[in-house]
Amino acid sequence: MRLPPVPGPRDVLALVERGGDAVEQLLGAVPRLVTVLDDAEALVRRVGGLVDGIDATRSAADGVVERSEATVQQADELLASATRHNERLAALLDRLEPPLTRLQPTLDRLAETTDAREVDALVELVDHLPALAHKMEVDIVPVLDSLSTVAPDLHDLLDVSRELNQMLGQIPGLGRMKARIDKQQETEGRG
């Protein structure tokens, strides 16, 4: 919007010199001058509002910059941590790569030949391992430990059985029966 020209002090003096018409013109310019002043005041208020808005925007931008700096710092810390973890993982992979490469054919064959039922059976076996371990420890291992003391008793029992067998062979009529049983057992043992 273009503002109407405002008469300056020289214009006012020139008008006074021109006389009464000039005074009338000067008085006619007063409302225009009031309008210009009102417009100038409104413009100043708008500029003040814009300056306030600019200040608020600058404050908000400062807050965003501060948060951005904090975010950048956190990102730097996370990156440093990730770098440390990456180095550890790289070292671990370097150590594991040779054995895994050697195991690859075995793993491939295992994957190709393993049936879901076999996996289920293995899971069931693993579920039973605690009970099996308990039975081994409580029932079977003590029996195995006692076998060393049973062996001499078994030898004595075998000796007594042989003597009894010889005595039975000397009873009349039982000798032939014993020979027939021995021959039958020998035949069954070969077959």
Any domain includes 143: no
* Domain span at 13: 1-113
At 95 the pLDDT is 94
Any domain includes 76: yes
Distance in angstroms (rounded) separating the CA atoms of residues 172 and 185: 21
Any domain includes 50: yes
Any domain includes 135: no
pLDDT in tens, the chain (191 residues): 566 677 777 776 766 666 666 567 667 777 888 888 888 888 888 988 888 888 888 888 888 889 989 899 999 999 998 999 999 999 999 999 999 999 999 999 988 999 999 999 999 999 999 999 999 999 888 888 777 777 777 788 888 888 887 777 777 777 777 778 888 888 887 75
Any domain includes 43: yes
Cβ neighbors of 177 (< 8 A, separation 6 or more) are none
Q: Amino acid letter at 40? A: A
What's the structural domain count of the chain? 1
Instruction: Note whether 153 and 147 are within 8 A (CB).
Output: no
Any domain includes 140: no
Residue 174's CB is within 10 A of a number of other CB atoms, namely 13
For residue 22, give the nearest of 10, 34, 33 by alpha carbon: 10
Any domain includes 144: no
Any domain includes 150: no
